[in-house]
C-alpha cells in the first residue's frame, strides 16, 4: 500500500494552536494518539519545516503536510468468521454486526473480531489509515450493540467517510429499550462527555463542559407498564455526534438506563410483575450483558459515486421477540 499525504491550509485563525489538537480537528480519519505518533516520527511539516513535538504551537500561516506512513502488517490475522454483508462494492462494505462481536482486536479479544473476519473476506483490500489493528474501520459500535457499520476498502474512501462523520452528514438511527419513562416524548440530550476518573472503562457527563460535545435526539415510540408504577420504554435515537458510549451515557444520565447495560445503570428486573417478561429480560439481556441497543439505519454519500446511500435493516430476533412479549402483556 502506498504512502498517503494530506495537505492542510493554516490561516491566521489557527495561530498559537497546539499542532496535535489542530490536526485532530482537521484530519477526522486519524486518531489523536496516532497523529502524535506520526509527529514523533517526523512525518509532519509546516512550510517544509519538520514539527518535532506534539505540543508545538502553530506560529505561521501556510501549509501543513502530513505523511500517513505505510501501515505495518496487521497483527490481527484473517479468520473465517461468518458476517452479514448488506452491501459491498470495490470501495466499501456495509455489515450488519451481531451483538457479541467485537469490532477490532484488543485485550482479551485478539482473533474473533470483525477485523479478523474482514481480513479474511477482503484480503489485502482494506484501508490502512486506521492503524495496525483497525484496518478499514471508519467508526465502531460496542461489542454488545447490534447493527450497521461501514468499512472502507481504500484510504481515500476512509478519509471521505471519516470527514462525513466529522461533518455530521452521516445518518445514524438507533433503537433501544430502557428502564423508566421520559418526561418528554421527543427531545434532545446535549452535554459534554468525558472519561470517568473513577472507572476508566466508563464515560460520564462533564460537570464543567470539558470533554467532547455530544448530542442525541430521541423519540419515545412505545411505553410498556411492568408494574403499577414503572415502565419500559421503546425509543428511537438519532445521533448528531458519535462519542464513545454516547447513547448509553445519555440514557443513564436522565435516569433511563438501557436494559442489559450493566455498566451504566441498575437493572430493575425484580420490579417486573410478569414472569414471562422477567425471564426474557434476565436470560436475553442481563445474563448476557446485551445492552438493548440496535443500529438500524445508516446513511452516507458514496465517496466515489457521489450518490446518497441509505441502509435500513430489520430488528434482530431478540428485539422482535421482546416487542411481541411486551405487546402481548399490555
pLDDT in tens, 158-183: 989 999 998 999 999 999 999 999 99
What's 72-164's CATH class?
A: alpha beta
Q: Which three cell numbers stand for residue 223?
A: 411505553
pLDDT at 1: 42
Q: Which three cell numbers stand for residue 55?
A: 505540543
pLDDT at 70: 67
pLDDT in tens, 38-97: 898 888 999 989 998 988 999 999 999 988 776 555 567 889 999 999 999 999 999 999
Q: For this structure, is 229 an active site residue?
A: no
What's 4-68's CATH class?
A: alpha beta
Domain limits, the chain: 4-68, 72-164, 173-295+320-328
pLDDT at 5: 83
Q: Do domains 4-68 and 72-164 have the same CATH topology?
A: no
Backbone dihedral angles phi then psi of residue 324, each to the nearest 5 degrees: -65, -45
pLDDT at 31: 72
User: Which is the catalytic residue, given 142, 154, 155, 318?
Assistant: 142
| Per-residue three-class SS string for the chain | CCCEEEEEEECHHHCCCEHHHHHHHHCCCCCHHHHHHHHHCCCEEECCEECCCCCCECCCCEEEEEEECCCCCCCCCCCCCCCEEEEECCCEEEEEECCCCCCCCECCECCCCHHHHHHHHHCCCCCCCCCCCCCCECCCCCCCCEEEEEEECCHHHHHHHHHHHHCCCCEEEEEEEEECCCCCCEEEEEEEEEECCCCCCCEEECCCCCCEEEEEEEEEEEEEECCCCCEEEEEEEEECCCCCCHHHHHHHHCCCCECCCCCCCCCCHHHCCCHHHHHHHHHHHHCCCCCCEEEEEEEEECCCCCCEEEEECCCCHHHHHHHHHHHHCC
pLDDT in tens, 89-131: 999 999 999 999 999 887 667 788 999 999 899 887 777 766 6
Residue that has been written with the C-alpha cell 489542530 in this structure: 22
Q: What is the mean pLDDT of residues 130-147?
A: 82
Cα gap 327→35, rounded to integer Å:
50
Mean pLDDT of the chain: 90
pLDDT at 209: 86
Residue that has been written with the C-alpha cell 422477567 in this structure: 278
Q: Which three cell numbers stand for residue 69?
A: 506512513
Cα gap 31→307, rounded to integer Å:
27
Q: What is the mean pLDDT of residues 4-29?
A: 87
Domain spanning 173-295+320-328, CATH architecture: 2-Layer Sandwich (3.30)
pLDDT in tens, 276-310: 999 999 999 999 999 999 999 999 999 999 999 99
Cα gap 233→184, rounded to integer Å:
12
Q: What is the mean pLDDT of residues 5-30?
A: 87
Amino acid at each position: 500500500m502506498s504512502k498517503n499525504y494530506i495537505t492542510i491550509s493554516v490561516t491566521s485563525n489557527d495561530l498559537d494552536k497546539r499542532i496535535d489538537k489542530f490536526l485532530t480537528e482537521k484530519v477526522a480519519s486519524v486518531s489523536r494518539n496516532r497523529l502524535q505518533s506520526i509527529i514523533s516520527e517526523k512525518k509532519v511539516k509546516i512550510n517544509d519545516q519538520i514539527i518535532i513535538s506534539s505540543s508545538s504551537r502553530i506560529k505561521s500561516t501556510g501549509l501543513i503536510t502530513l505523511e500517513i506512513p505505510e501501515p505495518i502488517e496487521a497483527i490481527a490475522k484473517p479468520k473465517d468468521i461468518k458476517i452479514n454483508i448488506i452491501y459491498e462494492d470495490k470501495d466499501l462494505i456495509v455489515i450488519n454486526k451481531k451483538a457479541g462481536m467485537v469490532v477490532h482486536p484488543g485485550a482479551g479479544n485478539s482473533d474473533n473480531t470483525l477485523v479478523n473476519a474482514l481480513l479474511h473476506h477482503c484480503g489485502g483490500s482494506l484501508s490502512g489509515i486506521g492503524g495496525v489493528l483497525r484496518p478499514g474501520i471508519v467508526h465502531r459500535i460496542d461489542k454488545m450493540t447490534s447493527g450497521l457499520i461501514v468499512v472502507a476498502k481504500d484510504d481515500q474512501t476512509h478519509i471521505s467517510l471519516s470527514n462525513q462523520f466529522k461533518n455530521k452528514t452521516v445518518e445514524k438511527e438507533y433503537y433501544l429499550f430502557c428502564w423508566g419513562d421520559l418526561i418528554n416524548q421527543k427531545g434532545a440530550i446535549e452535554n459534554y462527555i468525558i472519561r470517568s476518573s473513577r472507572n476508566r472503562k466508563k464515560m460520564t457527563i462533564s460537570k464543567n463542559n470539558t470533554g467532547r460535545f455530544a448530542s442525541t435526539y430521541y423519540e419515545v415510540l412505545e411505553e410498556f407498564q411492568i408494574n403499577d408504577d414503572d415502565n419500559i420504554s421503546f425509543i428511537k435515537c438519532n445521533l448528531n455526534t458519535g462519542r464513545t458510549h454516547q447513547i448509553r451515557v445519555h440514557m443513564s444520565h436522565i435516569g433511563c438506563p438501557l436494559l442489559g447495560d450493566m455498566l451504566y445503570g441498575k437493572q430493575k428486573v425484580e420490579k417486573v410483575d410478569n414472569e414471562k417478561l422477567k425471564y426474557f429480560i434476565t436470560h436475553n439481556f442481563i445474563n448476557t450483558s446485551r445492552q438493548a441497543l440496535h443500529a438500524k439505519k445508516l446513511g452516507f454519500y458514496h465517496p466515489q459515486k457521489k450518490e446518497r446511500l441509505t441502509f435500513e435493516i430489520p430488528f434482530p430476533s431478540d428485539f422482535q421477540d421482546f416487542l411481541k412479549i411486551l405487546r402481548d402483556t399490555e
